[in-house]
Chain A
């Protein structure tokens, strides 16, 4: 649904996808910051929300769905909590490779369950609101605008939360230096759980917002995981939240440019190239802690 020049199109779509990519990455980013765990199930969790949305929507229609959506998000949060408390926690003391294997295994379990219950073909989800609008003579669906706006709003809320509230600051403390935070009286365990819940909410909303505007297939789980990882390391694990937004913008625009100028199916290639370049030349990311 594009008219207007390529530059405007890329620009506008870039904004929306920056917001969405940030949202997708933030849950993963926070969990890594607080618990130092690379949670490979993250992409799958978002994907499961997409599928749950699909199931709810094909049964009912968006309008009467407010409660169903909240239910979906609660489900996502529960899933995240189960994964953390039931599994990840048990292996915190094991070597890193075990944790990776565990989360990879869990992610595959989720993926396989979805394939077996819903089927491997692509699903599409009708939009929450219909119609389209033109911005800068670029035509967008209202759904896209809505998704982007909600994403931005949620991120702003998150930033405020982390900066201004006591809990938010406690979380930031644990991210920077767990031992010192504990010595200051912060209950690190509680902070973990709170962060997990936040990550779950972020993942849930991300899934919700992304589902109506792209094809939902069982592959998107890993695709989003790769995206989240790329944005996270570009931002620099251990850095400020707005770093994630900047990194998301870079990745989003790189992908869009690739999609437009080279081929749409190769847009992951752009993310991959960014990942490689970051790891080779600036492993601590743009804003991460440098030695």
Chain B
């Protein structure tokens, strides 16, 4: 029975995926276009992962990109200093990325999920400091760069596949027992415990799943750009993830994906007014939070549900 409901999602994802896959050869692998689309897909993965933590579990993460950054830097370090076989490098990056989520996750287990937010801030600060302090290891402001390993085209397809997989997986997780537990945790941790939910275990699980996909995206992004820098640990990138999630709709995987996609495009096209961009984002976030706490998609979903209820005469 679960598959029927998911038809909508799967169909939607399928269509977008096919669309993206076809655009590449059609546009003759236009450099700029592929770049924008890749970037947008990566953002979508980040936002959807973020939403699992924030929208479903109530753990507001202001440092989602941290996981990606840690994974990317780890791989960069291996590429430049210890050229072990690539699969191992990627595994190392993945483990590092997931491990960094535990740095935020473990301390937050015993306290309310809101503390998570500030811990994530602090993490960003610390990691950014570390990369800027040990310049000889991490390359300081310039970050670390490697010569091209995989072709952009290959990476493009890998990334869109990853995006599709992420969305589908997240959707399945959210509809499963895990998702229900997370929602209960978000609503009322104590009562969740009273009903038998091992809150700590599920919070950790959410961290792991979220950082898993984010790290993978970070790794792909790194190979695409051939570069990773301290901006991964900057406030702005992660804040954008938050923004996209909030506008798109926290607590709805599709909404998050939408938010990610749309805003990522907007991000690209707003480059000329870069200075004002950040201010606009902050304003946008504030306005959306006050006016539509469930985001655009979330608002649509709850409006829909309400209409259904009214029809049924309740």
Contacts and interface: CB of A to CB of B under 8 A. Distances in A.
Task: Tell me, yes or no, whether A and B come into direct contact in the complex with CB atoms closer than 8 A.
Answer: yes
Interface of A: 38, 40, 87, 90-91, 94-98, 100-102, 104-106, 108-109, 111-113, 115-116, 222-223, 225-226, 229-230, 233, 263, 265-266, 268-269, 271-272, 275-277, 279-280, 283
Interface of B: 54, 58, 60, 62, 103, 106-115, 117-119, 121-123, 125-126, 129-130, 132-133, 235, 239, 242, 246, 250, 275-276, 278-279, 281-283, 285-286, 289-290, 293
A246 B121 CA distance: 24
Given A269-B129, A283-B110, A108 B122 contact: no
A263 B117 CA distance: 27
Contact of A271 (B106, B112, B122, B289): B122
Given A96-B58, A104-B239, 10 more contacts: A94-B293, A95-B58, A102-B286, A102-B290, A104-B117, A229-B122, A265-B129, A269-B126, A276-B107, A279-B108
Nearest to A98: B293
B276 A116 contact: yes
B285 A101 contact: yes
A106 B282 CA distance: 7
A268 B250 contact: no
A83 to B, nearest CB: 11
A272 B125 contact: yes
Contacts of B122: 226, 229-230, 268, 271-272, 275
B281 A225 contact: no
A222 B114 contact: no
Contact of B279 (A94, A109, A268): A109
Q: What's the dominant secondary structure at chain A's contact region?
A: helix
A265 B134 CA distance: 10
A108 B53 CA distance: 22
A139 B107 CA distance: 39
A61 to B, nearest CB: 32
Top 7 nearest A-B pairs (CB, nearest first) are A108-B282, A279-B107, A105-B286, A112-B279, A105-B285, A109-B282, A265-B133
Given A90-B290, A109-B282, A112-B282, A223 B125 contact: yes
15 contacts: A40-B118, A100-B117, A101-B242, A104-B285, A109-B283, A112-B278, A113-B279, A115-B278, A116-B276, A222-B235, A225-B121, A226-B125, A265-B132, A269-B129, A276-B107
A201 B226 CA distance: 49
B278 A108 contact: yes
A108 B289 contact: no
A108 B119 contact: no
A96 B114 contact: yes
A283 B125 contact: no
B242 A104 contact: yes
A196 to B, nearest CB: 19
B130 A108 contact: no
Nearest to A112: B279
Contacts of B109: 280
Given A112-B282, A229-B118, A279 B290 contact: no
Given A97-B60, A105-B285, A279-B108, A272 B126 contact: yes
Contacts of A91: 289-290, 293
Contacts of A268: 122, 125-126, 129
B62 A104 contact: yes
Contacts of A116: 275-276, 279
A115 B274 CA distance: 13
Contacts of B106: 276, 280
Contacts of A112: 278-279, 282
B49 to A, nearest CB: 17
